[in-house]
A and B are shown apart, each in its own frame.
Chain A
Amino acid sequence: MQAYQDMVFSTAARLLANEAQAQDIAQDVFLKAYENFEQLRTSTTKGGWLKTVTTNLSLNHLSRYRRRWRFFSEFRRDEATEEESQLDVAVADSALDGIAEEERQLLLEQALRRLPEHQRVPLVLYHFEELSYEDIARQLRISLAKVRTDILRARVSLARLLARTQLSDAHSRPSPS
């Protein structure tokens, strides 16, 4: 369990953006693993099994709350075009330069948590869980086009959040003179 608990917890925490819920999910995952102990003990793919179960349980947890809002979320105004136009990729690219590694990791985790769920979940599935666009569409039961759009918007939002954080950080630092 010790070898996999960080991986299981990370997957759940990044998908749910909530530590308490991620702990509950991680506990359920290991209880399921215990139920399938005989099968997993000799398996060479137990890491993959644990990751898949974590992802599925997290998505099930989210869908319980998401179902009632999904219909209305389709009415949301399309604000991404405006966001995209304000994004300078070069600035975003250098957003994390010159920041200590630990701080950079913390900033990224914080920025991830601040993304809205419909952007964060497909982004995490694509970049962290390495699922394809098609698999994400199947898992989330949304169209391929929506997956692509949501992930693009998530990247834009993430880059903007990071750029903004760096900007505010630069303002708060004392000037060298």
Chain B
Amino acid sequence: MKLTTEDQARLEQLVGRACREQPALAAPRTLQARVFAALQQRAARPWWRRSFAYWPMAPRVVLVLACAGVARAMLEVTAWFNTNLGAVQLPVPVSRSLSWVQSARSLISLLDSTAGDVGATLLHRIPPLWLYGGIIGMLALYALLVGLGAAAYRTLHAPR
């Protein structure tokens, strides 16, 4: 038998009244001292250890300009590498030591051009039954994982 609407209203009144009559809990005496100590600790920090919003204006401007400069330099270096890497004639020892860079570039472009083709070919070669079976299997394993998680939660963690 569930509570009737009347009982629910009475219960709301009862709990509401009890809560309203409840005085505020007394804060520990140490709270004020803790807050003042934290404020003093904050005030004692040097400007560069505070949040950026509290930095003096000059260091703020310098940092913003420095960040913009670094970003621009990175963009220019990347663009230069992209256009000139093949054309630059490096001394033989240097070019030998940097040969892995060239190899990596070739490998990445090869993978990039063939990955799409391989994916499309595989998708067409795999029988649809296997494909759907695989998807259903994955979903079933996922549901099993969720079920095990829920069971573990209820057994080990849920408040009783």
- State the majority secondary structure of interface residues on B: helix
Cross-interface CB contact of B35 among A27, A69, A96, cutoff 8 Å = A27
Which residues of chain B have C-beta atoms less than 8 A from A26's C-beta?
A: 27, 31, 35
Q: Taking the complex as formed, is B19 at the interface, i.e. its CB lies under 8 A from any CB of chain A?
A: yes
Q: Is the CB of B27 within 8 A of A9?
A: yes
Q: Is the CB of B158 within 8 A of A76?
A: yes
Q: What are 14 A-B contacts defined by CB distance under 8 Å?
A: A1-B32, A5-B27, A9-B27, A9-B31, A10-B24, A26-B31, A27-B35, A72-B150, A87-B11, A105-B21, A128-B22, A152-B11, A156-B3, A159-B11
Q: Whole-angstrom distance from the CB of A13 to the nearest CB of chain B? A: 5
Cross-interface CB contact of A81 among B2, B16, B158, cutoff 8 Å = B2
- A162: nearest residue on chain B (CB-CB)? B18
- B13: nearest residue on chain A (CB-CB)? A93
Which residues of chain A have C-beta atoms less than 8 A from B39's C-beta?
A: 31, 34
Interface residues of A in 1-36 (CB under 8 A from B): 1-2, 5-10, 13-14, 19, 23, 26-27, 30-31, 34
Cross-interface CB contact of B154 among A8, A76, A81, cutoff 8 Å = A76
Q: Taking the complex as formed, is A85 at the interface, i.e. its CB lies under 8 A from any CB of chain B?
A: yes
Interface residues of B in 102-160 (CB under 8 A from A): 149-150, 153-154, 157-159
Which 5 A-B pairs have CB atoms at the shortest separation, nearest pair first?
A9-B27, A127-B19, A72-B153, A116-B159, A5-B27
Q: Whole-angstrom distance from the CB of B24 to the nearest CB of chain A? A: 4
Q: Is the CB of A92 within 8 A of B11?
A: yes
Q: Is the CB of A155 within 8 A of B24?
A: no
- Residues of chain A touching chain B, judged by Cβ–Cβ distance below 8 Å, are 1-2, 5-10, 13-14, 19, 23, 26-27, 30-31, 34, 69, 72-73, 75-77, 81, 84-85, 87, 89, 92-93, 96, 105, 108-109, 116-117, 123, 127-128, 152, 155-156, 158-159
Q: A9-B24, A89-B11, A128-B22 are in contact. List 16 more A-B contacts (CB 8 A).
A: A1-B35, A2-B32, A8-B27, A23-B27, A23-B30, A26-B35, A31-B38, A31-B39, A31-B42, A84-B2, A96-B18, A105-B22, A105-B23, A108-B22, A116-B159, A117-B159
Q: Taking the complex as formed, is B25 at the interface, i.e. its CB lies under 8 A from any CB of chain A?
A: yes
Which residues of chain A have C-beta atoms less than 8 A from B1's C-beta?
A: 84-85
Which residues of chain A have C-beta atoms less than 8 A from B26's C-beta?
A: 6, 9
Task: Tell me the complex Cα distance, A93–B157, Å.
Answer: 32
- B9: nearest residue on chain A (CB-CB)? A89
